[in-house]
Amino acid sequence: MKIYPYIAYHVPIFFIYLILLTFLVDLTKRTIVLYDKIMIKTDSRKQTILDTALGLVRNMGFESVSIASLAKEVGMSKSGLFAHFNSKEKMHLMILDHAAQTFSDDVFRKSLKVKRGIPRLKAIVNNWLTWYKEDGGGTCPFIAAAIEYDSRPGPVKDKIQQHTNQLIKSLNKSIDLCIEQKDLSSNCDSKKMTFELYSIIIGHLIYLRTLEFKSASQLFRDAFNDWLNRYKN
Which pLDDT score, from 0 to 100, does residue 128 have?
92
Are the beta carbons of 183 and 117 closer than 8 angstroms?
yes
Which pLDDT score, from 0 to 100, does residue 13 have?
66
Which pLDDT score, from 0 to 100, does residue 31 have?
61
Which pLDDT score, from 0 to 100, does residue 39 have?
39
Q: Which helix (H) or strand (E) holds 217?
A: helix 216-231
Go through the domains of the chain in sequence order and give each one's CATH number.
Answer: 87-231 (1.10.357.10)
Are the beta carbons of 54 and 131 closer than 8 angstroms?
no
pLDDT-derived band at 232 (thresholds 50, 70, 90) equals confident
Residue 32 reports pLDDT greater than 60 = no
Query: Partners of 184 in the beta sheet?
Result: 232
Kindly report, residue by residue over 88-130, the tens digit of the pLDDT: 888 899 999 999 999 999 999 999 999 999 999 999 999 999 8
Kindly report, residue by residue over 142-153, the tens digit of the pLDDT: 888 888 888 889
* pTM for this prediction: 0.77
More confident residue, 66 or 200: 200
Which pLDDT score, from 0 to 100, does residue 36 have?
39
Are the beta carbons of 188 and 231 closer than 8 angstroms?
yes
Are the beta carbons of 57 and 71 closer than 8 angstroms?
no
Are the beta carbons of 96 and 159 closer than 8 angstroms?
yes
How far apart CA 125 and CA 217 sit, in angstroms, is 12
More confident residue, 28 or 106: 106
Average pLDDT, the chain: 84
Q: Which residues contact 149 (CB under 8 A, 6 or more apart)?
A: 62, 156, 157, 160
Average pLDDT (185-209) is 93
Residue 38 reports pLDDT greater than 50 = no
More confident residue, 153 or 84: 153
How far apart CA 57 and CA 136 sit, in angstroms, is 12
More confident residue, 166 or 20: 166
Nearest to 92 by CA among 41, 135, 148: 148
Rounded (10°) angle between helices 3-60 and 67-74: 110
